């Protein structure tokens, strides 16, 4: 059995991006470790959701641990940086933000975990952080450097299949169903990567109930009435039944259906 370390920017990213792969790996006997760069301090939360005196980051840490338990994660670690907010916001410039972190220093924190865990696989995000979020871009940079420092043998960039998403939202529009206002055509053209770049597509339909439950565990950010969780089962399966990766050491023409292909 192998050890998978999956590196994410904020609480809830792990559920949305690759909750299916994490649950699948755990069920197959692999050790799954979740590392989160920030505690999501600058997420949005509805007025009155938190009791007086509770900070959002405290709730999001609790939600992450609940999500991890659902997915079968063996260990959860936070690197200790502060959420940088969306691109162009003042939070980007805070000295303690992840976006401002020294890449080598942050990588050393992650590399220590990779080394301690004897990690076989590390997952990060693609070069643009899947959709341009500064903390996601920093996960890519820090993760690549950490893998070098620790000698982690296999690195995957968790990404989004742009073509698949465009097809899915086209089907929604044709069916007269709601499409999020912020998913305009210009944004969709920058989301993730073209599918020809993808090396590894994992079918996670068997684990969709767990993935959905892990998303629901992040209730401060993903309510039951949100676009994600309000999807009918068929649409949820279409949108989230596959998870996509680019293997960093891939030979031309590589096609995989699992992150653990070829591992001893």
CA atoms of 222 and 45, how far apart (whole Å): 10
pLDDT digits (tens, 9 = 90+) for 13-41: 999 999 999 999 999 999 999 999 999 99
Residue 168 falls within a domain, yes or no? Answer: yes
pLDDT digits (tens, 9 = 90+) for 107-156: 999 999 999 999 999 999 999 999 999 999 999 999 999 999 999 999 99
CA-atom Rg of the chain in angstroms? 18
Domain CATH for 34: 3.40.50.10320
CA atoms of 153 and 110, how far apart (whole Å): 15
What CA dihedral angle connects 126, 132, 135 and 139, to 10 degrees?
Answer: 10
Running DSSP on this structure, what letter comes out for residue 230?
A: T
Nearest in space to 92 (alpha carbons), one of 103, 105, 82: 82
Q: What is the pTM assigned to this prediction?
A: 0.93
Cβ–Cβ < 8 Å for 65, 78: no
Nearest in space to 121 (alpha carbons), one of 11, 222, 13, 1: 1
Residue 11 falls within a domain, yes or no? Answer: yes
180 phi, psi to nearest 5 deg: -55, 140
Residue 263 falls within a domain, yes or no? Answer: no
Number of domains in the chain: 1
pLDDT digits (tens, 9 = 90+) for 144-192: 999 999 999 999 999 999 998 888 776 666 666 666 665 666 777 888 9
CA atoms of 68 and 185, how far apart (whole Å): 34
- In three-state secondary structure terms, 138 is helix
Domain of 160 in residue numbering reads as 3-244
CA atoms of 98 and 105, how far apart (whole Å): 11
């Amino acid at each position: 059995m192998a050890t998978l370390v999956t590196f994410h920017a904020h609480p809830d990213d792990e559920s949305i991006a690759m909750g299916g792969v994490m649950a699948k790996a755990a069920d197959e006997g692999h050790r799954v470790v979740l590392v989160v760069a920030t505690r999501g301090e600058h997420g949005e939360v509805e007025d009155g959701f938190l009791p007086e005196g509770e900070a959002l980051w405290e709730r999001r840490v609790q939600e992450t641990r609940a999500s991890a338990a659902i997915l079968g994660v063996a260990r959860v670690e936070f690197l200790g940086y502060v959420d940088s907010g969306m691109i162009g916001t003042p939070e980007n410039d805070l000295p303690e933000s992840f976006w401002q972190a020294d890449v080598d220093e942050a990588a050393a924190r992650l590399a220590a975990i990779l080394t301690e865990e004897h990690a076989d696989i590390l997952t990060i995000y693609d070069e643009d952080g899947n959709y341009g979020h500064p903390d996601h871009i920093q996960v890519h940079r820090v993760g690549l450097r950490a893998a070098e420092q620790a000698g982690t043998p296999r690195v995957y960039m968790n990404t989004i299949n742009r073509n698949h998403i465009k097809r899915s939202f086209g089907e929604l529009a044709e069916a007269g169903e709601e499409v999020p206002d912020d998913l305009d055509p210009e944004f969709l053209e920058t989301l993730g990567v073209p599918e020809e770049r993808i090396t590894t597509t994992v079918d996670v339909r068997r684990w969709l109930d767990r993935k959905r439950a892990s998303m629901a565990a992040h209730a401060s950010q993903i309510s039951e009435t949100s676009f994600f969780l309000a999807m009918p089962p068929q649409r949820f399966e279409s949108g989230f039944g596959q998870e996509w990766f680019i293997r960093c050491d891939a030979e031309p023409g590589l096609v995989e259906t699992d992150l653990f292909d070829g591992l001893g």
